[in-house]
Amino acid sequence: MYRTLLALVLALTISVADAAGLLNTQAVESAAFTEKLPSKEVESPLTVKVEVLLDRAHFSPGEIDGKLGENVEKAITAYSEAHGLTAGGNLTGELWAMLSADTRPVLTAYVLTENDLKGPFLKKIPAKLEDMKGLKAIRYRNVREALAEKFHMSERLLAVLNPQSKFNRAGEKIVAPNVIAHETGETKRSVAKIEVDKQRQTVKAYSQSGDLLAFYPATVGSEEKPTPDGTLKIISIDANPTYRYNPEYKFRGVKSKKAFVIGPGPNNPVGNEWIGLSKEGYGIHGTPEPSKVSKAESHGCIRLTNWDAVQLASMVKKGVPVEFENSQAKGSHQL
């Protein structure tokens, strides 16, 4: 077992080292569109650049990981629709020209602070919900996870962009996606309607005039607790929510027959943001596992990355309608 684990760690280290040789600030900043698209399995400078530009335009690719995957394609599709392009989910020269009109640096230097390092952190997060109920808060596991979420990226990409960093010293300079500074001074967007597509696993936010203001990949519903049809309304917006387990839902892996509450934090089952809807137990919320958004079941609600949930919450208010649709048919809080 030890040899197997050692081999896996070594393989991952080599993989990160190899990727780091291709992914650096110069390569990402100078990346440009070519007819030959990047691989969906391997990180590329062009994909990192596209993901950052989409994120800054409010068309979220989910977790920025450098791979041209399904969530990036969904964001490209939404961006194309919003701008009257015919690209669909494909990265085309026309779409690239519009995206790359944003000429601000794609990556930024960030200096680690004492606050970044001191946490507090929760090194081992219980796998079972019942085992979380006695904890005061479900915090980040470590500095790397906190930094990755701060910059909307995967922990692996953080390591690839900073191959020499140990993330353990105040004053240490790292490189990360430039997705924070652009929000400062930005005109606040006001969302008048949210559309949740249960089939495509997406969330779209519209203005009063019908313009698409923001897009997010999402995990929508489950067999245990199907997401509702029709239209609901936002009834609450809560940062750092607690999570209340309702035994009536009988989630797989939960044995408790009594309700219990789990403390707040980014690794709480509903993440660090809750947008409550007008059906008990349903809401739009964050997640402790951003890499699984749009790729794994939710317990009936609408799950976004933590940062996307926070962004959406900043643009809505109570009373905003949330319409649940199915693209095939068309043509304390609970998860």
Active site residues: 285, 301
> Which of 24, 61, 264 is CA-nearest to residue 162?
24
